[in-house]
Structure 1
Amino acid sequence: MTLHAITVLGHDRPGIIAQSTAILGSLGLNLEDSTMTLLRGRFAMVLISEGAADTASIEAALAPLGSSGDLTVTVRELPDDQQTERRTTPWVLTVHGGDRPGIVSSVVAQVAAVGGNITDLTTRLSGELYLLVAEVDLPVDVDVDAVRAALNATADRLGVGATLSPVEADEL
């Protein structure tokens, strides 16, 4: 059994998810993880699948998705590496304010500086208002007040607001 990362990017239209997942199912692949969204009106999907099919077979089966030129499909085998278990606690980071270059890189650098890991990140631009929502895993022994202070200092420098909140168990 191998893991594959499959990406589908391009012009949005009804049925992309249904068609692509049906193809993967017909190959006996199990969807282990996925994310799908529209980015500035463009379809974007990443799937992690597991099964016995090889990369070439998956690419050939998915080729009809991109045959009209409006979608780009890629398939890449993932190494079978074991993930090490880290002791972390889940948090939600929100940032909002006027749009400007450097918001994402500056804010997530503060999380990385304390050994934190971004596990999900979404940004949206609505007119001049920029919104970032990130799920963050922080090491259990991190000084959360110091992280908040660093995030607030960065946010102040950027002219945006930032909030770091614990995730309640029922929110997962």
Structure 2
Amino acid sequence: MNEYAVTVIGHDRPGIIADVAEILARLGLNLTDSTMTRLRGHFAMTLVCAGPTTGAAIEAALEPLTAERTLLVTVRSVVEEPVHEPAGSPHVITLHGADRLGIVATLARAVAESGGNITDLTTRLSGSLYVIVAEVDATNPERLDTALRTAAQRLDVEVSMRPADADLL
């Protein structure tokens, strides 16, 4: 069984998910993981799928979706890697404040230097308000909380961290 990562980005329109999913299903590919979102009128999707076909066949089948040059599709083989169990506990970080350069970089550095790992991150800009919601695997929640508060003070933003609800998947 071959595994592939398929990304689709471009101008949003109704039916992109249906078009891609139908093509992959016709190729005998099972979607095992996915994330999809719309960002300011642009669509972004990453899928991991498994099946008996080749990367070249997937690219050829998806090529008609790129004909109008509003979507970009990439296909990459996924190499099997050892599964790493989370080293810490899941937490959710919420940050909000005035938009300024370097907020994501500062938050990400604070998490990394505290031994944490960001597993999901979403940002939104609403007028001049910048909001981040990040899921992290925190190996030392107290140390991470201290680092986040220090970073928030430097950036003049509000930050909070709480244990994440148990993932039902």
Structure-2-length-normalised TM-score: 0.95
| Cα distance in structure 1, aligned partners of 2:26 and 2:149 | 50
Identity %: 53
2:165 equivalent to 1:168: yes
After superposition, residues 1-172 of structure 1 pair within 5 angstroms as: 1-139=1-139, 142=140, 144-169=141-166
Which contiguous aligned blocks of 4+ residues in structure 1 show a shift greater than 3 angstroms?
Answer: none
Q: Following TM superposition, by how much is the alpha carbon of 1:145 offset from its aligned partner in structure 2, in angstroms?
A: 2.4
Structure 1 CA distance for aligned equivalents of residues 68 and 87 of structure 2? 47
Matched residue type, 1:61: A
Paired residues, what number? 169
Change (3 A) 1:170 1:81: closer
Amino acid at match of 1:105: A
Q: Deviations over 1:52-87 (max 9, x none)?
A: 111000000001111111101110111112223243
Asked whether the 8 Å contact 1:2–1:80 carries over to 2, the reply is: no
Partner of 2:115, secondary structure, is: coil
What SS does the aligned partner of 2:58 have? Answer: helix
After TM superposition, give the deviation of residue 171 of structure 1 in Å. Answer: 7.5
Q: 1:170 Cα shift?
A: 6.5
The 8 Å contact of residues 3 and 50 in structure 2, kept in 1 or not, is answered as yes
1:170–1:64 Cα change, 3 Å: closer
Q: Which amino acid aligns with 2:164?
A: V
Q: What TM-score does the superposition give when structure 1 sets the normalisation length?
A: 0.93
Q: Cα gap change, 1:170/1:137 in structure 2, threshold over 3 Å: closer, same or farther?
A: closer
Q: Which runs of 5+ in 2 are unaligned?
A: none
Per the TM alignment, residue 115 of structure 1 is displaced from its structure 2 partner at its CA by 2.0
SS at match of 2:107: helix
Is 2:114–2:143's contact at 8 Å kept on the other side of the alignment? no
**Which residue identity is paired with 1:160?**
V
Q: CA RMSD in A?
A: 1.4
Secondary structure of the structure 2 residue equivalent to 1:14: coil
Unaligned runs of 5+ in 1: none
